[in-house]
Amino acid sequence: MAEPIAKNHSGPLDFIIGSRLWALVAKECREILRNKYLLFLILFPPIVQLLILGGALDPQVRNLALGTVDRSDSTQSHLLIDSLLKDDVFKKAQQFKDEETMCRALDLGKLAVAIVIPKEFAPDLQSGKPAPVQVLVDGADAYSAGVASAFVKRTMSRFDPGGLKKKFVDPDSIVDPKMQILYNPEQLSSWYFVPGVLGACLTLVSTLIASATILKERENGTMEQLLMTPAEPWEILLAKIIPLVAFLLADVCIAIALAHVVFGLPFRGNFLVFLVASALYAFVGIGFGMLLGSVCQSQRQAQLTSFFINIPLILLSGTVVPFDTMPKAMQMVAIFDPLRYYTLVARGIILKGATLEMLWPDIALLVVFAILLLWLSASRFRRQLV
């Protein structure tokens, strides 16, 4: 009589353990460990971006710049200014001699709030009359303007130097803040974000397109054909850059027109100055892209590397969160961020009507960044053609 066939009791776990899966996993791990570039992209960028995100993305509004013109120069006016500095919303107040100088600093984005205390401030308080105080708020950043104006109103309503509130019929109106929100009276967040997002889009598009233009020549094997042409390396490079800048400027014009129609975004400054600044920043982005194209071996590799560069540029520029709320270490790093200066120029021209005379330091820095990056990328490109 034949013996029954033994049943196979091996389950799914035994099948997985006994399969060739782990040999393939070990092989892929060895491939990753051999590829130093891929290993760098896996480990280094996420850590750096996490640190930048954790430091830069802070919803709390603090360390805003406060400017004052104290015509009263009395004990009461000094106490009022000190009361505004008790919390972390404002940093040390900057004293100005006149309103014109202070308003110029407000136009340049160096102040978030400007306060004018009249000469009659102390006598009004002593006589039991509400003392008017002019408060000018930079509304270009709608979120910070809302927080700052609410904080100023609350602080002034609680102000009580030497128990003077008992002289007033309405104790909450001892100081009467004459609040005026400039540049964005309705505090529309879209007006704040559109100029910054425009710079971020220029960064992403110019970097990716410029790197793809260089790498396409290499992948298609047409780099050698460029060697056979009688053109100089700088002529070949400019021939690639000029059309990109023209198309990017066309994108900028379309974006501004759509923002005006959809969001009601005003344009208060000189459009020609804005186009020049946009062209300079397009050169910066193209310089980044061509530098990537000369270093990376493929378009996919350049795309991965560009995210490591572009995300920190966007986060540290003040495009997403106000620059003043970042830690000091992040602000020091952001000095080398060209998008920060383009964002200041774009918001200054679009929302504040800032002139070239007011913005020339930021535009000059864009020139420096453009020249430096194009010089580096041209040097790398020339080596590949020789």
- Same domain? For 148 and 294 the reply is no
- Write down the pLDDT at residue 145: 87
Q: Per-residue confidence at 29, pLDDT binned at 50, 70, 90?
A: confident
Query: Token digits for 269?
Result: 């400054």
Evaluate whether residue 29 is within a structural domain.
Answer: no
- Same domain? For 170 and 202 the reply is no
Please state the domain count of the chain: 2
Q: Mean pLDDT, to the nearest integer, of 358-384?
A: 88
Evaluate whether residue 115 is within a structural domain.
Answer: yes
- Same domain? For 131 and 201 the reply is no
Domain with 99 in it: what CATH number? 3.40.1710.10
Evaluate whether residue 22 is within a structural domain.
Answer: no
- Same domain? For 267 and 344 the reply is yes
> Which of these three, 160, 182, 204, is where a domain ends?
182
- Kindly report which listed range (76-85, 326-335, 367-376) carries the lowest average pLDDT score: 326-335
- Write down the pLDDT at residue 175: 85
> Which of these three, 137, 156, 182, is where a domain ends?
182
Q: What share of the chain is helix, strand, coil (3-state, %, to 5)?
A: 65, 10, 25
Query: Would the pLDDT of 282 be above 90?
Result: yes
CA nearest 181: which of 192, 195, 172? 192
pTM of the model as a whole = 0.80
Quote the strand ranges of the chain, DSSP E: 66-70, 94-95, 113-117, 131-138, 175-182
| Helix pair 233-263, 271-295: axis angle to 10 deg | 130
- Same domain? For 96 and 117 the reply is yes
Query: Would the pLDDT of 170 be above 80?
Result: no
Neighbours of 86 (CB within 10 A): 9
Greatest extent of the chain over all pairs of C-alpha atoms, in Å: 121
- Highest mean pLDDT (candidates 31-40, 44-53, 139-148): 139-148
- Same domain? For 106 and 202 the reply is no
CA angle 267, 337, 47 (to 5 degrees): 125
- Same domain? For 143 and 200 the reply is no
In whole angstroms, give the CA distance from residue 198 to residue 112. 22
Q: Which of the two residues, 330 and 60, has the higher pLDDT score? A: 330
Q: 107 is in which domain, residue-wise?
A: 66-182
- Same domain? For 129 and 265 the reply is no
The residue type found at 146 is: G
Rg of the chain (C-alpha set): 29
Q: Mean pLDDT, to the nearest integer, of 315-343?
A: 84
- Same domain? For 255 and 169 the reply is no
Q: Per-residue confidence at 152, pLDDT binned at 50, 70, 90?
A: very high
Evaluate whether residue 265 is within a structural domain.
Answer: yes
Tens of pLDDT, residues 191-207: 888 888 899 889 988 88
Beta-sheet pairing, 113-117 with 66-70? parallel
- Same domain? For 178 and 250 the reply is no
- Same domain? For 124 and 250 the reply is no
Evaluate whether residue 53 is within a structural domain.
Answer: no
Query: Token digits for 294?
Result: 């000369």
CA nearest 244: which of 215, 285, 298, 274? 285
- Same domain? For 225 and 340 the reply is yes
Q: Per-residue confidence at 81, pLDDT binned at 50, 70, 90?
A: very high
Query: Would the pLDDT of 338 be above 70?
Result: yes
Evaluate whether residue 21 is within a structural domain.
Answer: no
- Write down the pLDDT at residue 59: 59
Evaluate whether residue 8 is within a structural domain.
Answer: no
In whole angstroms, give the CA distance from residue 340 to residue 351. 16
Tens of pLDDT, residues 92-131: 889 999 999 999 999 888 899 999 999 999 888 888 788 8
Evaluate whether residue 25 is within a structural domain.
Answer: no
The residue type found at 377 is: S
> Which of these three, 182, 214, 236, is where a domain ends?
182
